[in-house]
Amino acid sequence: MELLFLYRKVLSSFVICKGVFIMLETDRVIIRRFTIEDAKDMFNNWTSDKDINKYMLWDLHCTIDDSIKTIEFYIKCYENNSSYIMFAIVDKISNEVIGSISYNLNRRHDYASIGYLLCKKMQNKGIMTEAINVFTNYLFNELKCNRIEAEVIKDNIPSIKLLEKCGFKEEGLIRSKYYINNKYNDVYVYGKIRDEKIFKN
């Protein structure tokens, strides 16, 4: 506990445990592992929100039990040191879980795919920009990724602008990849290479 307390005093800090970090920190948020206790915030803030989930690949959660089962899956990934890891984004003022961010790591080719979301009430405040920047720094500097990529539905303009603000470059369009909202959706691929770690303010 003393070690964790000391690290929380340092902005953008890293704590590593069995290959999966315990915490990253920015001015306004903490990025950490999910716990079962986060299920209420998860359900209330985004998994039951139709607007938040309209570009996501999973089904809307109907009860808090759905969110509990999802977190149980995340915990198994931590325990197994999986290549796919999902983390909670926590507001430092309220200690509320307000979103999530993930990576899927390919060790053979040294790249990671990331995904992210933020609850509606915390959007348009620059919070996700902070989270993505510290997260990609971790992937480049600690996990030694050479490349980070993200897929975004063509119609999801706010997410596209976010990636571009964080220094990602559009690399191509994949046609009709995901079936969401009763239609096949085109997907943009955005990428960032280690030598391009320059962020826009």
3-state helix, strand, coil in the chain (%, to 5): 35, 35, 30
* Token pair in block for residue 13: 């800090």
* Token pair in block for residue 121: 């009430």
The DSSP bridge pattern shows strands 147-153 and 111-118 to be parallel
Tell which residue, 142, 140, 147, has the closest CA to residue 169: 147
User: Residue 144 belongs to what domain range?
Assistant: 2-149
Task: Report DSSP letters for 70-89, one per residue.
Answer: HHHHHHHHHHTT-SEEEEEE
pTM for this one? 0.87
Q: Does 179 map to a domain? A: no
Q: Does 198 map to a domain? A: no
Decide if 5 contacts 23 (C-beta within 8 A).
Answer: no
Q: Does 127 map to a domain? A: yes
Decide if 20 contacts 48 (C-beta within 8 A).
Answer: no
Q: Does 174 map to a domain? A: no
Q: pLDDT 10s per residue in the chain (201 long)?
A: 333 333 333 333 344 444 556 699 999 999 999 999 999 999 999 999 999 988 998 889 999 999 999 999 999 999 999 999 999 999 999 999 999 999 999 999 999 999 999 999 999 999 999 999 999 999 999 999 999 999 999 999 999 999 999 999 999 999 999 999 899 999 999 999 998 755 444
Instruction: Check which CATH number belongs to the domain holding 130 and give it.
Output: 3.40.630.30
Q: Does 192 map to a domain? A: no
Q: Does 49 map to a domain? A: yes
Number of domains in the chain: 1
